[in-house]
C-alpha cells in the first residue's frame, strides 16, 4: 500500500474519532435540555396536584431528575475540553 494511501486512511480514522466525540457532546447537551424540560413539566404538575400520593410520586421523580441532570452536567464539564 502506498504511503499516501496509508496516511490518508490514518487521517480519516483520526478525524472520525474527533467527530464522534463532538457528536457525543451534542448528544449530552440535547439530553440535558430534555431533562430540564421534563423537570419544568413536573414542577408545574406538582403545583397543580392536590392528591398527597401523587405529589409524593412527583417529588420522587423530581429528585431522580435532579440527580440525572447533575450527573449529566458533571460529565459535560469533564468533556468540555474535548468538545471544542
Averaged over 33-55, what is the pLDDT?
94
Looking at residue 46, what is its pLDDT? 94
Tell me what the mean pLDDT of segment 13-24 comes to: 62
Q: Is 84 helix (H, G, I), strand (E, B) or coil?
A: coil
Residue 82: pLDDT above 80? no
> Percentage of residues in the chain with pLDDT exceeding 70?
74
Contact 62, 46 (CB under 8 A): yes
Residues 6+ apart with CB under 8 A from 59: 46
Instruction: Please state, in angstroms and rounded to a whole number, the distance separating the CA atoms of residues 25 and 37.
Output: 19
* pTM of the complete model beyond 0.75: no
| Rounded Cα gap, residues 56 and 6, in angstroms | 61
Binned at pLDDT 50, 70 and 90, residue 21 comes out as: low
Q: Where are the alpha helices (DSSP H) in 49-79?
A: 52-79
* All structural domains of the chain with their residue ranges: 3-79
Amino acid at each position: 500500500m502506498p504511503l499516501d494511501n496509508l496516511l490518508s486512511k490514518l487521517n480519516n480514522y483520526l478525524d472520525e474519532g474527533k467527530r464522534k466525540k463532538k457528536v457525543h457532546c451534542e448528544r449530552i447537551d440535547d439530553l440535558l435540555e430534555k431533562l430540564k424540560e421534563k423537570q419544568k413539566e413536573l414542577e408545574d404538575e406538582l403545583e397543580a396536584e392536590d392528591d398527597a400520593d401523587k405529589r409524593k410520586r412527583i417529588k420522587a421523580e423530581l429528585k431522580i431528575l435532579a440527580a440525572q441532570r447533575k450527573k449529566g452536567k458533571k460529565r459535560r464539564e469533564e468533556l468540555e475540553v474535548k468538545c471544542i
